[in-house]
Chain A
Amino acid sequence: MLDAEGVSYGYGNSNGPVVRDVSLSATEGEVLGLIGPSGTGKTTLLRLLALFDPPDDGTVRVDGTDAWSLSKEQRTRTRRRIGMVFQDRSLFSTSVAHNAGYGLAVRRSWTERATDWLAGLVGGPSLAAPVEDALETVGLAEMADRSARSLSAGEAQRVAFARALATEPDVLLLDEPTSNLDPRNTAVIEEAVAAARDRGIGVVIATHDMQQAERIADNVAVLLDGTVIERGPADVVFESPSDERAQAFIDGELVY
């Protein structure tokens, strides 16, 4: 559904492109592990896929259409089929319910939002069904009324995951979603990723954690210095990578 074709991107400084000539696809009901050491362009690549910025070269296609050939309004509609979870804490300092429901709220008109707000004042907070489901998936439904600031890092990340899930996206982009989390919270997120895949969502997860990629990815792409050096089914790549540097990275010998 979401494809990058030969994309390159640089931040306009002398260091050159951060992502170089990368092609990959997020496919329905499949988890693609994007692995590679830190600072190798995983985040930049995910931001390109999430349509934050147009690539310097190459195209990002959604259902075969170049997303950057669309009008801004059309692109917003397209973006809304893509969910993203970031590595760092990214919750608003409001309630858990508001955070988890944010994606749905911005899809409503300003009049509808004002009505929702008034209804909330009169009748107290209520959760839309997809928001409740999403919070249920990450095991935080009972925390809906809590302030997001009072959450642990793990809980906050689960709410961020629920925020992306509640919009029922076709594609989920996850940027090192568990790199700062303890094993229990990591397990919850990984289960939620598996559940999302089973519902037919295409998942791209950037991670530098080999074990995690092995656990949850169907396919992997190894990214090094902004370019894909190895790709294929996860078990094949982990068993016998054809690229020497990919082998070194998988063996933990490639140190940056």
Chain B
Amino acid sequence: MPFVFTPIPLQLSDFSVEYLVSIVIVTLQVSLTAVALATVAGVALAVVVGFTEFPGKRLVESIINTGMGFPSVVVGLVVLIMLSNSGPLGDLQLLFTPEAMIVSQFILALPVVASVSLSAIESVDDSLADAAFAAGGTGRDVQVAVLREARYGITTAILAGFGRAISEVGSVLIVGGNIALNTPTGERVSFTRTLTTAITLEARKGEIETGIVLGVVLVALALSVNALGNVLRERGEH
């Protein structure tokens, strides 16, 4: 059947503002938590790899870089297997919860944060490390100085990780289940429904207008977080 697009009047099916807000909250909760964890782990990984020489370093670097392009549905599948009742982490009972989505977004964002941070650390000119050392810095001081020089790149890494997390749909659909609950008062609230999975659902139902509204909200969120990151980055230049 041909699809008929009627832009006006805007009909958002049975979509209440409260429902939309609950989706936004779940989306931000999951992605911000995942990125916060990925930042801690990813920057730590970049520091370890960036500041030490060890056999197989190139291999580790290329694994991290490959991870950036890892298909999210495959990550979702692996997390699903791990968290399913018969899986090794089944006892945690995390499947189809926001925590499961945090796990999969963490896995997706980690290589992005680590890889971009690592290249930021490695691109700091040796002359600055030398300057820190010559000024009386210890090895630790030199590392801190290099990290400080890499701070713009690391901010970019965190923003890129956030972009990867919040725009991701495949894995959260698999491990989160795109669940919305009905409250006793008949209100719908998101449990594991994010903006991306909600858009998928609305589009499949043919609720294109609702999908577009959700899409605009998603893009606005992504842009706001990026704008905030850029403001921080510019303020940090002084």
A interface residues, Cβ below 8 angstroms from B: 50, 52, 76, 79-80, 82-84, 86, 88-95, 102-103, 106-107, 147, 149, 160, 163-164, 167
Assess whether B149 is interfacial by the CB under 8 Å rule. Answer: yes
Contacts A95-B238, A147-B237 given; does A106 touch B138 at CB 8 Å: yes
Distance A121 CA – B118 CA, assembled complex (angstroms): 29
Assuming A106-B141, A147-B237, A149-B237, is B148 touching A94 (CB within 8 A)?
yes
Smallest CB gap from A52: residue in B: B133
| Complex-state Cα separation, A160 to B131, whole angstroms | 9
**Beta-carbon nearest neighbor of B151 in chain A:** A93
A167 engages B237 (CB within 8 Å): no
**Closest A residue by C-beta to B139:** A72
In this complex, which of A50, A102, A163 has the most chain B Cβ atoms within 10 angstroms of its Cβ? A102
* CB <8 Å contact, B136 and A167: yes
Question: How extensive is the interface on chain B, given as a class?
Answer: 10 to 19
Number of A-B contacts (CB under 8 A): 58
- Please, which residue of chain A has its CB at the minimum distance from the CB of B152? A93
The answer to whether residues A93 and B237 also contact, given A76-B136, A76-B138, A79-B136 and a CB cut-off of 8 A, is yes
A147 touches B134 (CB 8 A): no
Q: B127: which A residues are within 8 A, CB to CB?
A: 86, 88-90
Which residues from chain B contact A89 at a C-beta distance below 8 Å? 127
CA distance A103 to B132 in the complex (A): 8
Q: Indicate if B135 sits at the interface (CB-CB under 8 A).
A: yes
User: B130 contacts the other chain (Cβ, under 8 Å)?
Assistant: yes
Contact A90 B130 (CB under 8 A): yes
Kindly state whether residue B137 has any CB partner on chain A within 8 Å.
yes
In this complex, what residue of B is CB-closest to A167? B136
Residues from chain A with a CB closer than 8 A to the CB of B136 are: 76, 79-80, 103, 106-107, 167
- A221–B131 Cα distance when bound, in Å, is 25
